Amino acid sequence: MPASHIAPGLPPDLPVRLLIGGRWQPAQDGAVFAVEDPASEERLAEVADGTEADARLALEAAVQAFSDFGRTTAQERSRWLGAWFTAIRDERQTLARLITLENGKPLAEALGEVDYAASFVEWFAEEAKRAYGRIIPASTTDRRLLVLRQPVGVVAAITPWNFPAAMITRKVAPALAAGCTVLLKPAALTPLTALYLAQLWQAAGGPAGSLNLVTTSHAAQVADVWLGDGRVRKVTFTGSTPVGQELIRKSAAHVQRLSLELGGQAPFVVMDDADLDLTIQALRTSKFRNAGQSCVASNRMLVQRGMLEEFTARAKALVASLKVGPGLTPGVEVGPLIDRPGRQKVLDHIQDALGQGARLEAGGEALPGKGFFLAPTVVSRVTPAMRVMHEETFGPLIAISAFDQLEDGLAMANDSPFGLAAYAFTRSAARAWRLAEALEYGIVGLNEGLPSTAQAPFGGWKLSGLGREGGSEGLDAFLEEKYVAWGGLQG
């Protein structure tokens, strides 16, 4: 594709094609789609728009490559992943700039995402060598009982736009570490980071066909090809709960294994003995990272009544201190929402709350001019009837509700079909244990606003998903266990 299709400021050698079997190539029909900057609404690039035909080509390449890649040694895979980690760290600034341009998040935050993304590659480069099997004591002397752990096979990875680097490495790195070949479909809103990461995998020596990438504006068509073929043995997806439920239905025909990280509705429980300085700092991180566009973003601020007035005042001061603007502008802490519908959803939640008696404490409006900016907002007197209390807002809105006793706060926090992340703040060890054990969530941040890390399992309960990413569990998700009973050994 001609360089004129890449805006100034992007890497001039950025691949904007499909990666299939180690070759960069256009879509079979030559179609492309545009990628835009949510801060300026200007076109950044045009990338290949894959279809079912391209998805099938990528699948054939992954199947063919697996016959060799699945037999490589753990040490070989560890070295390739180690080289990929080094390449990502060396290109840290370029990757962060790509993330900011296509996603909108502030550059400092994008740099943090690159480091987070790289940490998964480093972790699974090491874990690749620890996919241990075992020997089970037999009940007779002429038998040996073995358990082998082998790669599950071809993996389809479908990733979201809100963390365009980290959500890729959190899935792709453990799959490659296990010896699986990968079909990657990044979000159409943020494909540029994925393209650059794939280019770095090639530069690190990753074998042809081990990672195949299909950019597309036809997500369902591409996913249907992969879900409709039994040679794809694993699907890993991060996105909305309705799409995850559809993937479950479609995977049933071939009983494909699934890892699903779906929607969240995170409570942020503040007890009246909380360290308020620490709590507000955690609120800044958990609520305004990526402008609130995170599945683990705090969504419902549940504050014990004795702390309510002071917490509300500090929340108002927090949003007043935040600088909103384009992510490449120095000092900006909150960038744009990803697109116009994303911004409108937040505005709808605000208006719904105000229409039902909530009080506007700060913000509440879209900012004028180009880009999908919205003023960080605080609303108080929020009740369970309001949409913000049972829908994921995905934006910079602090919605405050009050409770009286600890058990009341727990009941409010658990009153959700979602169970991804929860946050709780208290100085009491007894209260902390009670909260940690009683919150019905896969991740709990106790006096902590940023619990995610490569070495710990990440995933949700209830409608928030299946399986875990990160930690030793992240590698397990891409391995099959094979029991071998070896007889006739009496000699």
Question: Residues with Cβ < 8 Å from 317, sequence gap 6 or more?
Answer: none
**E strand segments, 30-73:** 32-36, 43-48
Let me know how long the chain is.
491
183: amino acid identity, one letter: L
Name the one residue in this structure whose structure tokens are 């590659």: 121
Whether the CB-CB separation of 461 and 419 falls below 8 Å is answered with yes
Q: How far is CA 263 from CA 181, 184, 260, in A?
A: 27, 21, 10
> Which of 261, 333, 392, 469 is labelled catalytic?
261
Beta strands in 372-419 (DSSP E): 377-380, 397-403, 418-419
Q: State yes or no: is 261 an active-site residue.
A: yes
Q: Cβ distance 343 to 324 under 8 Å?
A: no
Residue 432 token pair? 């902390």
Do 384 and 327 contact (CB within 8 A), yes or no? no
User: Kindly report the CA angle at 337 between 334 and 340, in degrees rounded to 5?
Assistant: 150
Choosing from 46, 295, 333, 469, the catalytic residue is 295
- CA angle in degrees (0–180, nearest 5) for 439-441-442: 135
Measured over the CA atoms of residue 2, residue 5, residue 9 and residue 14, the dihedral's sign is negative
Catalytic residues: 261, 295
